Amino acid sequence: MSTSTPHPFDKAIALQHSDLRAGHFTGTTSPDYWNMVGPFGGTTAAVALQAVLQHPDLLGTPIALTVNYAAALEAGAFDVQATAVRTNRSTQHWTVQITQPGASGAPNMTTTATVVTAARRETWGRSDLAMPEVPKPEAVEPIRIGPAGVAWVQQYEMRPFSGGIPAQWDGSLQHSETRIWVRDAQARPLDLPSLAAMSDVFYPRIWLRRARHVPAGTVSITTYFHADAAQLAEVGTGFLLGQATGQQFFNGFFDQTAQLWSEAGVLLATSNQIVYYKE
């Protein structure tokens, strides 16, 4: 009898429950999604979301996810605690904490998160943010090689057609907008955890804005989900159009906003993050 091999992303966000009703889970970092000094922030966000999605008290589907990166996860096992702090008629509010044992044996807090879920109902709806006119994915060359030591980049098929990594780090002032087609390198149907992860695939906007390779890292990211199960199923294993732009760079921190559309032009998710940078 043959068994299929789990997708690398599913292995990276896999959780085991030690006490499901209490919302306590355990997981292990994945070398496939490593990013310099810790896991790719997108997979950490997906782990926080996954804990809520697996909780038996879940109401509805996620509409908002905020993840705060207090410290980098070290390679190895970690604990996740998901708690429903309030349940209303149509919305539910969650807190999530990710910890690892510290040097003294006490839990070391690495990540905090909040998740809002909702029981959506059909109403009038429109998008005031239309997908821009862009070349088709097949008309754009993919990135062949990622940065050394950044394994997670190899897990995505990325086809940037504007705002790519600067060819020269010469300090010239440029715009901060990137547009890119992206999907899992190994085919995987889109779902909310993978959508959360892809909201964080954009490199720091300050690199493009200043063409300087300064140290930078996300401090907090919020992603809003605008798609239902049917719209995600329509995407399947297809590309998403991603667009990211910096907004304000000030005294060591900047924020960048991002949008993700399906090839059919449906706005699936929007996000905003605050990023630390060092001169």
Would you call 90 helix, strand, or coil by DSSP?
coil
CB 65 within 8 A of CB 194: no
Residue among 13, 32, 21 nearest 98 (CA):
13
Cα–Cα distance, 175 to 93 (Å, whole number): 37
Alpha-carbon gap, residue 40 to 200, rounded angstroms: 9
**Is pTM beyond 0.75 here?**
yes
Pull the structure tokens for residue 118.
Answer: 């909702």
Is the CA virtual torsion 121, 127, 129, 133 positive or negative? positive
How far, in Å, CA of 208 to CA of 171, rounded? 9
* Contact assessment for residue 62 and residue 53, using Cβ atoms and an 8 Å cutoff: yes
Q: Are 206 and 275 in contact (CB under 8 A)?
A: yes
Tens of pLDDT, residue by residue, the chain (279 residues): 445 899 999 999 999 988 877 899 999 999 999 998 899 999 999 999 999 999 999 999 999 999 999 999 999 999 999 999 999 999 999 999 999 987 777 889 999 999 999 999 988 999 999 999 999 999 999 987 666 678 999 999 999 999 998 888 999 888 999 999 999 999 999 999 999 999 999 999 999 999 999 999 999 999 999 999 999 999 999 999 999 999 999 999 999 999 999 999 999 999 999 999 997
Domains identified in the chain and CATH numbers: 8-118 (2.40.160.210), 153-277 (2.40.160.210)
Do 96 and 114 contact (CB within 8 A), yes or no?
Answer: yes
Q: CB under 8 Å to 185, separation ≥6 — which residues?
A: 154, 155, 156, 157
| pLDDT score for 2 | 46
CA distance 87 to 64: 15
Contact 39, 98 (CB under 8 A): no
